[in-house]
């Protein structure tokens, strides 16, 4: 589905680019007293999937999504707190699910490397790519392609990192449940912040990103 064929992708692209890539806020909230910055409202806990890493996330919207807890499973079984097994039982908004297929689904990463960082994984609790059924393999591939098209339509991504981390030694944080990463990339998206400050600037809330990508998700 082309971004401009029915106009939906074009609207999504404008909206997301406006949110994701604003260099400075249109106005700054001034503190009530000199030297006393305003305190933001209490953050809302956000559930989701992903594992914490060494980067701090700096959310530029005034109301931040502050993540509580480590969000790591207690063991390797499906009932050991595996977030990929838990998320499909939540609503799309609460679980950050962008789309659901028959045997696999696409979900936003709770700890994204870039805005729009998605993961595609089977519902079945399986660790290794070779353990997927033919149906699961086909749908994981289809959702991966659809994810790339949706992110391009919604944000004008210039490239992607797509891949699986198989096993802890390969960098898999939740190795017991297979998940494929789709990370959108833009020229200059890695600047001094992650190098010097171990901080990623993410100027849009996850729930807003989920809604925009769901709107831009192709139907074919």
Known catalytic residues are: 179
Contact of 191 with 41, CB cutoff 8 Å: no
CA distance 200 to 58: 6
Sign of CA dihedral 206, 162, 125, 105: positive
SS3 call for 53:
coil
Consult the annotation and say whether 114 binds a ligand. Answer: no
Listed residue (24, 56, 59, 6) closest to 209, CA to CA: 59
Beta strands in 68-203 (DSSP E): 97-100, 104-108, 118-122, 159-164, 180-185, 199-202
Listed residue (209, 199, 200, 131) closest to 164, CA to CA: 131
Consult the annotation and say whether 181 binds a ligand. Answer: yes
Tokens describing residue 179: 């998940």
SS3 call for 70:
coil
Q: Supply the DSSP symbol for 52.
A: -
Residue owning tokens 């010097």: 196
Degrees to nearest 5, angle at CA 53 with 49 and 57: 85
Binding residues for substrate, as ranges, are 109, 181
Binding residues, as ranges, are 109, 181
């Amino acid at each position: 589905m082309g971004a401009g064929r029915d106009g939906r992708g074009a609207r999504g692209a404008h909206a997301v680019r406006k949110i994701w890539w604003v260099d400075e806020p249109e106005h700054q909230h001034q503190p009530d007293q000199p030297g006393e910055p305003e305190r933001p409202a209490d953050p809302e806990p956000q559930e989701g999937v992903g594992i914490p890493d060494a980067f701090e996330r700096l959310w530029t919207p005034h109301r931040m999504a502050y993540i509580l807890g480590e969000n790591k499973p207690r063991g390797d079984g499906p009932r050991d707190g595996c977030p990929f097994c838990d998320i499909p039982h939540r609503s799309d908004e609460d679980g950050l699910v962008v789309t659901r297929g028959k045997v696999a689904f696409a979900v936003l990463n709770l700890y994204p490397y870039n805005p729009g960082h998605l993961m595609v994984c089977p519902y079945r609790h399986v660790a290794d790519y070779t353990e997927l059924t033919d149906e699961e393999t086909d749908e994981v591939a289809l959702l991966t392609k659809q994810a790339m098209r949706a992110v391009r339509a919604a944000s004008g991504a210039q490239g992607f990192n797509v891949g699986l981390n198989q096993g802890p030694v390969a960098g898999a944080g939740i190795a017991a449940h297979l998940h494929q990463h789709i990370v959108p990339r833009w020229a200059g998206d890695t600047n001094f912040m992650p190098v010097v400050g171990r901080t990623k600037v993410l100027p849009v809330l996850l729930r807003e990103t989920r809604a925009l990508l769901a709107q831009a998700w192709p139907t074919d």
